[in-house]
Structure 1
Amino acid sequence: MRYTTTVNKVLKQTKRFVILLVGATLVLIGLALLVLPGPGIVVVIAGLAVLATEFVWAQQLLEKAKESAKRAKNKVAQKARSRNGSRSDADEMLE
């Protein structure tokens, strides 16, 4: 019985360590891709999602990232709607 409990603890700690390692690696690669060509933000969010499976602090960061992404999406959509409603610069040049 005691052996099984010890094995379960070791397996749980190993799983937690592997998740930390994979998630942190994805976040670091994503941060590098922010300045290099590649989908940096997507990789950072994927890393946070992996970390959030085991760590509360990562869940909180992931929620903040989702909220920021939603605000940015709404801002871009609002700008696109305002541009579509107004005349384009090319139309104004033709007159």
Structure 2
Amino acid sequence: MDRTRCNPAHPRRQFFNWVHRGIGVIAMILATTAVCIAAVHFLGIWPHKISQTTLSLMPLVVLLVMSAVFLCIDKFIDVDELNLSKVGYK
């Protein structure tokens, strides 16, 4: 992924951002699925049913909250020439 990253001012940067974000979301979905499978198949570890449910739902809740946070950040923080010069891209 690092080799395909372009300059923030490049016209195809939006495409890179969406592909990068999509790969991250797919990774989180796969990780959430793995945690849910572990919670369901290892029933002897959890003394209470609520522990299993909490473990299964927590990654999904974190994924949804973090997605909402990053969508808000993406919507309300504007990237301009001044911001790019602060992080060393110019």
* Alignment TM-score, normalising by the size of structure 1: 0.40
Q: Look at both structures and tell me which one has the larger radius of gyration over its CA atoms.
A: 1
Give the structure with the higher percent helix: 1
* Alignment TM-score, normalising by the size of structure 2: 0.41
